[in-house]
């Protein structure tokens, strides 16, 4: 049976070079980075080298990069510390953010009594910037805006440069969940007025369990995890040195090969969009995912012309045919709940039809996409 992995928005295949670097680190540099002897110093040097490499690529300062266990921890840390340390009384977000942001904001509303406002979305799921400006001007409370760069389910690209300028003009903090865009798009933090953003290595062919937060220098945030003095005192705990080395290698490889790999993956998506429209003409694309300019080149979210009962078997059918994809974000897999993103942008009739997210990487081929669409077509005709 052919095996096809099209769930790269959930996690990606680890690059061979990343595995080799991590194996070397585990075998040779096993000292604790906090130890003062040579073993520890070797590990510490590698950690700081990784931090400097990432910072240079982002045009940031090394002190602005804090290693975390991934995007969820980084999002939680930034939002919680902003409320606790920066006097934030209002969080403005949208109802289609990742749950790492939405659930954290909801908990902060309960714990601290902050106000929680949601910016309006247009029909395709993009935030309405005029409404954002209204929310920012509503009162004099200190505000933090949290809006993601690339939506993990429908792929919409948000104009975070414009949002950053609006926040700057209104003296508000700006945080963005950029887990789906770091490693896939170029970044320059000196050109984008953003205070905080997050990344996870496993979204760009690195290991799971490691990521980082960008925290603008002199932000005023204080530690959320206490203990040792790791990460310049900001996040206690022995650094997972092998994971950090793997993150660095994946990050460097992604940006060194960015132009070539974007062209490749964009070509795969273009082929998929054109082919599925030809073979299943009634297909619809959720959000802007079918638009090559307004959505990320890495995924599509399709709504298929099947009734609800038939749709219940679709994901299972694809799985037994060797095709891995997703009915929503990976964080919802195994849950009977529908996608909170699609619930916000589709009407009841549209929600009755099955929607699937197919996400691509450099390891996919045209042949795999043709096989997938052929299986979908066969299912439609069965």
Q: Which helix (H) or strand (E) holds 46?
A: helix 38-58
Closest Cα to residue 196, out of 178, 222, 209? Answer: 178
In angstroms, the CA 251 to CA 8 distance is 16
Q: Could you give the 3-state DSSP secondary structure of residue 132?
A: helix
d(CA 382, CA 370): 18
Task: List C-alpha distances in Å: 337 to 6, 79, 200, 315, 342.
Answer: 22, 25, 25, 15, 11
- Strand (E) or helix (H) holding 68: strand 65-68
First and final CA of the chain: distance in angstroms?
Answer: 20
Let me know if 331 is a catalytic residue.
yes
Tell me the torsion sign for CA atoms 301, 306, 311, 316.
negative
Catalytic-labelled residue, pool 81, 167, 325, 331: 331
Catalytic residues: 331
């Amino acid at each position: 049976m052919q095996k096809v992995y099209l769930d790269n928005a959930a996690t990606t295949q680890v690059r061979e070079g990343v595995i080799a670097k991590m194996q070397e680190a585990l075998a040779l540099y096993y000292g604790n980075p906090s130890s003062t002897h040579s073993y520890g110093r070797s590990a510490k040097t590698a950690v700081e080298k990784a931090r400097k490499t990432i910072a240079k690529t982002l045009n940031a300062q090394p002190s602005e990069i804090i290693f975390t266990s991934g995007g969820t921890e980084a999002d939680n840390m930034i939002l919680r510390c902003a409320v606790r340390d920066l006097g934030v009384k209002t969080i403005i977000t949208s109802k289609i953010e990742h749950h790492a942001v939405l659930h954290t904001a909801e908990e902060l509303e309960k714990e601290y009594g902050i106000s929680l406002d949601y910016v309006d979305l247009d029909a395709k799921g993009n935030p309405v910037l005029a409404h954002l400006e209204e929310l920012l001007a509503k009162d004099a409370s200190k505000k933090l805006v949290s809006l993601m760069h690339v939506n993990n389910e429908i792929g919409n690209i948000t104009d975070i440069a414009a949002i950053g300028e609006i926040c700057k003009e209104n003296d508000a903090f700006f945080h963005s969940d950029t887990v789906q865009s770091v490693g896939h798009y170029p970044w320059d933090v000196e050109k984008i007025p953003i205070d905080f953003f997050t990344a996870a290595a496993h979204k760009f062919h690195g290991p799971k369990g490691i990521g980082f937060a960008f925290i603008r220098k002199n932000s005023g945030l204080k530690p959320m995890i206490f203990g040792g003095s790791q990460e310049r005192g900001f996040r206690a705990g022995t650094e997972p040195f092998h994971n950090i080395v793997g993150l660095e290698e994946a990050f460097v490889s992604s940006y060194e090969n960015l132009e070539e790999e974007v062209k490749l993956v964009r070509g795969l998506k273009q082929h998929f969009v054109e082919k599925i429209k030809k073979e299943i003409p009634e297909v619809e694309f959720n959000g802007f995912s079918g638009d090559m300019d307004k959505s990320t080149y890495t995924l599509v979210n399709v709504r298929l012309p099947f009734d609800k009962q038939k749709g219940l078997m679709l994901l299972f059918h694809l799985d037994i045919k060797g095709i891995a994809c997703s009915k929503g974000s990976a964080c919802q897999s195994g849950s009977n709940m529908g996608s909170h993103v699609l619930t916000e942008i589709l009407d009841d009739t549209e929600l009755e039809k099955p929607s699937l997210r197919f996400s691509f990487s450099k390891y996919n081929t045209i042949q795999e996409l043709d096989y997938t669409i052929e299986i979908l077509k066969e299912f439609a005709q069965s």
